Amino acid sequence: MKTILETTQLSQPNCSYILDLIHNSDSRFGVEIIQIDESSEQSQSIVISTAILSEFINVLENYYAKVRSGAVQEKKHLSPSDKKRIQDNYLKGVDIKDLALQFGQSPELIEMVLRNQGIEIVSNKQPRSYYRQSKYYPKRKK
């Protein structure tokens, strides 16, 4: 049995959403989202565990930012061989921006592919030297 702790309703012209914070009988919390199509009087429901809720929210915020900025492009499907080539080229030192250009994808998608393969993303830039040579080592006079 589930207990509803809090409810929020969001409405659009032909559709309503009900978001419930629920507490299950097995002492777990979750969020249930119910979509109600008012024209056909049908509803759909999804329950999201709190264990993955923060990741779910992050994904939604990223999608919202992309849609709002107009950065959403049609992305072609990357085959497993393309993902392998992306991984191999990145490990050889090719920058993410260059890989995105090579494969016609966004840098965010290339980074996601690498992270899904378990690869840590690091900067390819060489570190700047802390000391300026001319300041601490003056040139010798001839």
Average pLDDT over residues 34-57: 88
Pair of tokens at residue 96: 């993410």
pTM of the complete model? 0.48
State what percent of residues in the chain have pLDDT above 70.
Answer: 85
Whether residue 32 has pLDDT greater than 90: yes
For every residue of 23-61, DSSP letters joined together read E-TTS-EEEEEEEEETTTTEEEEEEEEHHHHHHHHHHHH
pLDDT digits (tens, 9 = 90+) for 93-120: 899 999 998 888 888 889 999 998 899 8
Give the C-alpha separation, 97 to 94, whole Å.
Answer: 9
What residues contact 115, with CB distance under 8 A and at least 6 apart?
121
